[in-house]
Each structure stands twice: as structure tokens, then as C-alpha cells.
Chains A and B, each alone.
Chain A
Amino acid sequence: MRPGRYLPVMAALLFGAIEVPAHAATIQITTTDLVFAPAEVSVKVGDTIEWINKDVFVHTATAHNGDFDVMMPAKKTVTSVLTKAGTVEYYCRYHPNMKAVLTIAP
């Protein structure tokens, strides 16, 4: 219980916290009944998207410009980090009627 024993842990937590850029955020995008929601999201490079698939169907979040292609297994959550700025229209390769837009600021 000596405080000194916890110093390395404290340091790790501290450095860990410092290493995460201050602006990085986690944004959730869900698919329910073949709809991406929210359909339009403004984010920043470095942000993490949590893709939450509530459907019993497999979906993808596939950028038209090829910037990302995320596989979204049924009833699962996957994450991806945004690495490139731009206004990116994306869709589901399996159900191309599912469409949405990410506006990614530098």
C-alpha cells in the first residue's frame, strides 16, 4: 500500500493520457434497418468512428473515393480511425441503397 508502488502505473496513465491528442473524439454511427445514422457527420482526422451494426445483416461502410472500406459484421461494433480529410460519401457494398456522408476536417 506504499504510494511509491503505484508511481509507474500513475506515470503510464499520465503519459497515456498525454499521448492521446486533445482533439481526438469517438463518434458513433449506427446501422438500423439499413439506415446509417446520423446520415451526415462532421469529424476530424484522428477521430475514431465506432460503427455499430444493429442489423442481423452484414454491412460495409465503403468510401466512394476508396479512403476506407469497413466491414460491419451483423450485431457487432467495429472501430476505425480517420486518417484523411475530405467530404467522403460512403455506402454499403451489399446494399448500395444505404448511403451517408462524413465531412472530415484536417
Chain B
Amino acid sequence: MFVRLSAAIAALSILGSAALAQGAKPTDPQIAHIAYTAGVIDITAAKQAIEKAGNKDVKAFARDMVRDHEAVNKQALDLVKKLNVTPEDNDTSKTLSKQAADKLAELAKLKGAEYDKAYVANEVAYHKAVNGALETQLIPSASNAELKSLLQTGLKIFQGHQQHAEQVAAKLK
């Protein structure tokens, strides 16, 4: 379990430290890119779960993740278009994507109940990590009021997902 969670926890610390290492807070185009990337990562993980999961609650949870994260990301795209902002790739986004790809490959090797537990445990850890980054890094750094507001809505959605994932995890035990 430690190994399985380590990727998400590493992503959290990198999410915190990458921006700090630059000595400056992330810019709005970078924040938009990080938030969008975080959503894409969870959609990709969920699509794998819809294919692989055996438990019906886990499958249903994965479908919820696709639906909500696609809705958030659509709003994010509409907003950057409206604000005429081009999301800017950055080290935090790159690290998140790399960590997520590794995690996906690791989960791909698992089967049945073992996969279900690992996916849901990672969902808890991943949403916790993203929520921490949103609260301490991304929301405080956002300059544009509409971007800040969208991130705040995102935080509430992801906190909801974290609780939902915790409930699903509890039922798997």
C-alpha cells in the first residue's frame, strides 16, 4: 500500500515544491495548465477503472469522476478562451503527468479486487494531494478573480470526490 500511494504523495510534494523552487508563485496561465492537467489525469485513471474494475461501486465512482472532471475542464477551457489566456505548460504539470503515467502503468498490472482497492486508494490520495495544492498554492496564487472562483468550485468538487472515494474504499474492506 505504501508503494501504491507513494506516487500520489510524491506528486503532492512536487506540486508544492516545484513552484516554490522557482522562487515565484505560478502565473495564471500556469495555474490553468496545472488544474486542467490534474483533471485530465483523473479522467484517464477513471477510464482505465471503467474498463478494469470488477466492483460496481468502483465502476460507478469512476463514471462520476469522468463526468465531473470533464464538466470542470470544460468550464476551465471556456474561461481561458474568454480571458484570452493560453494555458502554459510548466514543470509542475510535466511532473504530474509523468507521475500519473507511472501510476497508470502500475495499476494496469493489477487485477480484480486488488486493482479495485488500489485504484480507490489512489483516488483518495490523489484528490487529497490536489486539494492540498489548490488550497495552499493554486488558489492563493491566482490573480484573476474568475479563475480563482473556478478553482474554489473545483476544490469543493474534489473535496466531495475525496469523501466519496473514502466511502467507496471503506465498503471495499
Interchain CB contact (< 8 A) of A96 among B67, B71, B152, B167: B167
Complex Cα–Cα for A95 and B153 (A): 12
Complex Cα–Cα for A63 and B68 (A): 22
Interchain CB contact (< 8 A) of A34 among B64, B153, B164, B167: B153
Q: A33-B153, A34-B153 are contacts. A95–B71 as well, Cβ < 8 Å?
A: no
**B67–A95 touching, CB < 8 Å:** no
Q: When each residue 31-43 of chain A gets 1 if its CB lies under 8 Å from chain B and 0 otherwise, what string results?
A: 0011000000000
Complex Cα–Cα for A57 and B5 (A): 28
Asked if B159 is an interface residue, CB under 8 A from chain A, the answer is yes
Counting chain B residues whose Cβ lies within 8 A of the other chain, the interface size class is 10 to 19
Nearest CB of chain B from residue A72's CB, rounded to whole Å: 13
Residues of A within 8 A of B140 (CB): none
Complex Cα–Cα for A97 and B164 (A): 9
Asked if A92 is an interface residue, CB under 8 A from chain B, the answer is yes
Interface size in chain A (residues, C-beta < 8 A):
13
Complex Cα–Cα for A97 and B156 (A): 8
Asked if B117 is an interface residue, CB under 8 A from chain A, the answer is no
**A57–B163 touching, CB < 8 Å:** no
**B75–A95 touching, CB < 8 Å:** no
Asked if A24 is an interface residue, CB under 8 A from chain B, the answer is no
**B160–A96 touching, CB < 8 Å:** yes
Residues of A within 8 A of B159 (CB): 95, 97
Complex Cα–Cα for A58 and B71 (A): 10
Interchain CB contact (< 8 A) of B160 among A56, A74, A94: A94
Q: When each residue 48-63 of chain A gets 1 if its CB lies under 8 Å from chain B and 0 otherwise, what string results?
A: 0000000011100000
**B157–A74 touching, CB < 8 Å:** no
Residues of B within 8 A of A92 (CB): 160
Complex Cα–Cα for A34 and B71 (A): 14
Q: A34-B157, A95-B156 are contacts. A57–B164 as well, Cβ < 8 Å?
A: no
Asked if B161 is an interface residue, CB under 8 A from chain A, the answer is yes
**B167–A94 touching, CB < 8 Å:** no
Known: A57-B67, A95-B164; 10 extra A-B contacts, CB below 8 A, are A34-B156, A57-B71, A57-B157, A58-B68, A94-B68, A95-B161, A95-B163, A96-B164, A97-B163, A98-B160
Binding site for B on A (CB under 8 A): 33-34, 56-58, 74, 92-98
